[in-house]
Chains A and B, each alone.
Chain A
């Protein structure tokens, strides 16, 4: 399901006053690109590393490049700069954001990544995976969208996860002075909360609560000196529909009691009941941000079985109309008279959905959907979502 694609090839009139004619050739046969995108086994996984200057990206990259983990990585960096490793699989590339000419303002891609990934993929066999390091101020959205919107890149690679490095001490300050820091967290699948040794446990809980308020579905890992277990950062399959939710045991999970110690590797889920400021809510999704500098909100929806005739048009309409405001969307959908779980995920207007697996016998047929974004109308989303439920 890729609604944005429908816009390709449609004439957009009136674009220039001195334009003499629009030539409009339309291929009337079947679309061919499916064959190119279905070959998942040969697709190279791509990890996107975001984080503010000083958050510890370079340290983490150096670890990825130098530790023995049995995998070879090609790394696309903005500047060779501080990476002290000489490796011809480190490629420098200038951030180059291209707006797609399809009438959709949020359809942006990174032109530099298209070129570099294409170049790298002409010589496969030299590496097993790609890591893209973004600048401190980079918008993660065009980076992620590149892997969905460009057919050639999509045919050869797959986005594995967006990892945000966050400096535990400086995050509150960063959130005050920039929207990028917030976007990076909102967009992340994994948040590495770094430099935890520089703050007290109370400050740490505050920072975690802030992160959780921005993004309830991300996994959070506490670490010092970027010392996170690489297995928790790489090969996550966060954009893989068959794995996306399996990876996040806490994501949209049923309310449950748990009582665990917070070790450095503790994964904070949305329902962790330590002080996240949302413990007092029935369930914590969409909690009021504990810091007023947070402008991203998340809206979690929960319902019964959906009527596919109403649900899919609704989802398409919402993502078309609210696309620019939606950073990420993820969900598990129970469809009426369907023995399989349906999973969806999206970035702005790009949505993907597929049947995941049969519902287990003891599983409740329940629909759970989370939107992370800005200026979303909670009441309207909830009301229209509920109207898509199948009659009992």
Chain B
């Protein structure tokens, strides 16, 4: 039986993650909490807007209303990576070899491993950032498409166009596909080798959460009363194939999804705080956590394959151990 170790916090949790096996919870008020032989916490920002884990899985990268980009985690002192003044840092992404990117307004910044910072300006606001799995390349989600930058070289950016506002962006783990969430209730995808488009629409709500299955065979998404899981096994991605609808419930919406790191099992979090685990192969469901105070806002599996950290909009966070 799965067991839940609760951590009741006061505030909206933006990211529930593991750093070297220790669950961390980043709240909108700027505090980062952790369960490391008891509840400990660090004040990182005055208002936290975005958070992600570095590629080594050791530190948390965050951006705030205070115009700071910070690196924190565990007992380490908070490192201010960059400070931009009185502007909101709206997005942050982790790249290879310690590289990172962040954005404010119409500018995206890449900070390379040597500490050098490169600025990339755009005609419209930078809404989302993501690094490619291989090579030093990152994507900027913007109005009417995506811009791909190569911060290691002086090369020109690649522009991918699709009408509409793109809010966040992700590369498939094999680097072959790029998918954005849109202001409309839709995902948009590109096959990078030939620029072909994929429209994934029909959602009743905006998509706030997505997660790739191991080896990138599936892409799970929120925004419906079920987790909408698109097949990406073939060379053509989900071309002409319908998605799976996993963990369908009649009276609430899926707000967060997280694929298990090694198995094709997806954790599905709902607006009422419930969490299910659903196996893709037979669509079998297991209840991981009952309803709570508010919508699940973030979930991440640990690399140990058995623990899932979850955060909610109302602060009732915790860790689920599926092995009990």
What is the interface of chain A, defined by CB distance below 8 A to chain B?
A: 8-9, 11, 15-16, 18-27, 29-33, 80, 88, 91-92, 94, 96, 98-102, 109, 111-112, 114-116, 119, 122-123, 150-152
Contact = CB atoms under 8 A, between A and B. Distances in A.
B240 A98 contact: no
Interface in B88-107: 88, 90, 105-106
Contact of A25 (B87, B124, B202, B239): B202
B202 A27 contact: yes
Contact of A96 (B143, B182, B228): B143
Contacts of A80: 86
A133 to B, nearest CB: 16
Contacts of B162: 16
Nearest to B195: A18
13 contacts: A11-B199, A15-B163, A18-B195, A23-B243, A32-B225, A88-B46, A88-B47, A99-B164, A100-B183, A111-B127, A123-B11, A151-B205, A152-B206
Contacts of A111: 125, 127, 143, 165, 183
B197 A27 contact: no
Contacts of B186: 9, 101
Interface of A is mostly: loop
Contacts of B14: 122
B125 A96 contact: yes
A109 B196 CA distance: 28
B183 A119 contact: no
Given A18-B197, A111-B127, A119-B88, A25 B143 contact: no
Interface of B: 11-12, 14, 28-29, 46-47, 49, 65, 86-88, 90, 105-106, 124-125, 127, 143, 162-165, 182-186, 195-206, 224-225, 228, 230, 236, 238-243, 248, 250-253, 313
A15 B240 CA distance: 17
Given A32-B205, A92-B87, A119-B47, 15 more contacts: A22-B199, A23-B239, A25-B202, A25-B243, A33-B204, A91-B65, A98-B165, A98-B183, A101-B186, A102-B184, A116-B88, A122-B14, A122-B28, A150-B206, A151-B205
Contacts of B253: 32
A27 B206 CA distance: 13
Contacts of B28: 119, 122-123
A94 B105 contact: yes
B210 to A, nearest CB: 14
Contact of B184 (A20, A88, A100, A122): A100
